Amino acid sequence: MCVCLSLQTTAQELLRFSVQPFEKRINAPVSLPLNGINYNSDDGNLVLYEVLNGKEVEVPCQIELGYSARLWFLLEGTTEAEVKKEYVLKLEDKIPLLKLGIVLKKDQKDLHLLSGEKPILNYRFATTFPPDGIDPIFKRSGFIHPLWSPGGEILSRIQPPDHYHHYGIWGPWTKTSIDGRHVDFWNLGSGEGTVKFTSFLSQTEGNIYSGFQALQQHIYFGAKGEDQVAMNEILDIRAWNLGEDTFMFDYTTSLNSPLENGILLEAYRYGGGIGFRATKKWHKNNCTVLTSDNKTRLDADGSFARWCIVEGESDTEEGRSGLLFLSHPSNRMHPEPMRVWPLDANGGRGDMYFEFVPIRHNDWKLEPKKEYTLKYRVVVFDGKMDAETAEMYWSSFAKMPKIKTNNNL
């Protein structure tokens, strides 16, 4: 996608630009930097317009602040390749167009993300204990559950009797080495380590996206003196405002080790990335997998993919629901290795577990006080999704716009 920009000299008109995808896209978030633009002006608000047949039609937008501010908007629906879209950004004394967005609601246990009245997902920040009679060592905080489909089907599962350490959507590391000592943050029953929610760093609501950043700490037991933090993780969840028919959120995890010698994430079939334990309803007879390399449940495990569709039977009107998992090209080992439970998993029942596993085939050394980031996007839908649609979603995630200005800002 190419975005061409030119600055204007009129008082209210700040910027004109065009967006032209090089490939077909669907529900694509687009952003551009606000370099040289006073987005904090007291003289008005930034308002975005699309120019259609010579007329300016206001488009919802959102400013992301930080080290480098960006303006976000959506190419909603399908955008054909080579179709040029023209936009103008103005500073106006008016309230910008407000779009019914995604809201955050917090109680004593969960941060809820909702699209209108429909729940999207819950982030559990309170410690959750296992069922009565089960060793409390399996307690955990900092995970996503439930995850709903747009039709209201719960797609995730926590604490199944076969794996009490499974927690909906989460991503701890299994085989690690700290100064030669093995530490498992995944299999909680081993008593070697755990992951816990520490604090919310931010919560955001807006026209284009809503979400939060949470600090999660990977704690290892048995160290000299008190238990120690092996990794600080910032989990960034951003849900895009596509309406109530399709849910889409980004799952970005950034890791930083305060340890003197860092930590080694050893190659293993599980660990890190983004893991998903599916609803109890899904099994070998009603749940399918399709990857970007045309792999299925028969041969996807251990293979590499840009994206993976996981679908199964549901009680929605469509009778089926699913998730599309997207791996970003900047991720380690992209296209990314996967763990996909085969058809004979769990004693032949064939329950569904999926994970992108960046250390599936190779060790990964995290040096001390350096940041490492993994980016994923999840599209949640009812009905069925084909490979062409999945590829459009991946292109929308993976190939960010190229931006050109005539003054090199």
**Given this model, what pLDDT does residue 5 score?**
55
So what's the pLDDT on residue 82? 82
Q: What pLDDT does residue 402 have?
A: 65
User: In this predicted structure, what is the pLDDT of residue 7?
Assistant: 47
Residues forming CATH 2.60.40 domain(s) in the chain: 2-98
Given a cut of 50, the residues of the chain with pLDDT beneath it are 7-11, 406-409
Output the pLDDT for position 409: 35
Residue indicated by tokens 């062409």: 388
pLDDT of residue 94: 87
Beta-carbon count within 10 A of 10 CB: 8
Fold observed for domain 2-98? Immunoglobulin-like (2.60.40)
pLDDT of 226:
80
CA dihedral angle for residue 328, residue 334, residue 337, residue 338, rounded to 10 degrees? 10
How many alpha carbons fall within 13 Å on the CB side of residue 145?
Answer: 22
Query: What is the torsion angle, in degrees rounded to the nearest 10, for the CA atoms of residue 197, residue 201, residue 207 and residue 208?
Result: -70
What CATH number is given for 102-397 in this structure?
2.70.98
CATH code 2.70.98 region(s) in the chain? 102-397
Amino acid at 112: H
